[in-house]
Amino acid sequence: MNDTAISLRLGAWWETNARDLPWRFGRATPWGVLVSEVMSQQTQMSRVVPYWTDWMERWPDARALAEAPKAEVITAWGRLGYPRRALRLQECACVVAEQYADKLPRTYDELTALPGIGDYTASAVMSFAFGERIAVIDTNIRRVLSRVFLGIESRGGAASPAERALANRMLPKDEIFGCDADVADNAGSAEHAANSTIRGDKRSRLHRGERPSVTWNQSVMELGAVICTAKSPLCDTCPIADDCAFLKAGAPDWGSAAPARANDSKARIDRCAVWSSPRCASFPLEPRCPGKMPTSFGRTRFSLPPASPALTMTADRDSGRRPATTQLTL
């Protein structure tokens, strides 16, 4: 297996097929890249784009967000989910504005010290915004590397030492081919964003200052997001399928995932029929598929009437602070 050839094929595929996201290709400041990474956590990219665009128009830098009313911040977060992320992002903005003069720090230790910023986000910002050579490890990258080079499925949970070692081993050296090295050194600057060249249609780009390690991180992540997906990989269109150890091994344990968590209600109710009606009487939920779904999940108590077939159920949830009613539709 020729690692260099794989890297080159992935880079060529990325150049032609990368999705046109507004924070890519030097068109966003480092702060804008950080915001995109926080918004993208456990959220579909198609949902993130309009929220990110509106967010950056309203609060283009850390200081602007730090001074915004919390109510407006929560409202602007909209349906991205996990609204606490919005408040943590504002806390992060306060630190950047006050301690770093509104400029995002460039080192790993400084980034991970910011509120709400962990290993992945710090690594992604260093690579995508500042052009630093650092292995970025997320679920998509782990899946691709495990399949292509180890011939196995990546499991859930934190990245294993073997996966981290593989990610670091595969990271290309940062020689800049056919371009000025200082362009990459200025990655994320306003001048760099203005000089990023877009040729032909909007999907064909010449990003001449991008370091090989940055291209590698982005291309592997993109491949995992749109081609080498967890459940429905498009192997026929994969640019590195010929070198994939997973395919050569006959795709062992294909599609297998880590065991569902004890409170993962979705995994338990998706195959079970339930009863509901406009009126709800309180009594334990009895599944139509015995043994596949418990009558409660964590702190959630389901309330359903005895016999009226439908596809809606109402759950009375005690959040620990105040009771609330959640309408769930299957």
Q: Please state which of the four CATH numbers 3.20.20.100, 3.40.50.720, 3.50.50.60, 1.10.1670.10 is assigned to the domain occupying 3-29+104-248.
A: 1.10.1670.10
Dihedral angle at the C-alpha atoms of 197, 199, 202, 206, nearest 10 degrees? -50
Reported in sequence order, the residue ranges of the chain that DSSP labels E, i.e. its strands, are: 197-198, 205-206, 296-297, 300-303, 312-318, 323-329
Angle formed at CA 188 by CA 141 and CA 102, multiple of 5 degrees? 110
* Pick from 188, 213, 183: nearest CA to 30: 188
Provide the token pair at 176: 């800049």
Q: What is the DSSP string of 309-330?
A: B-SEEEEEEE-SSSEEEEEEE-
pLDDT in tens, 164-177: 999 999 999 987 54
Annotated catalytic residue within 15, 37, 153, 175: 37
Q: Is 132 a catalytic residue?
A: no
pLDDT at 280: 36
> Which residues are bridge partners to 327 per DSSP?
314
Domain residue ranges of the chain, discontinuous segments joined by +? 3-29+104-248, 265-329
Contact assessment for residue 221 and residue 21, using Cβ atoms and an 8 Å cutoff: no
Q: Which residues of the chain, if any, have pLDDT below 70?
A: 1, 176-209, 254-330
pLDDT at 76: 97
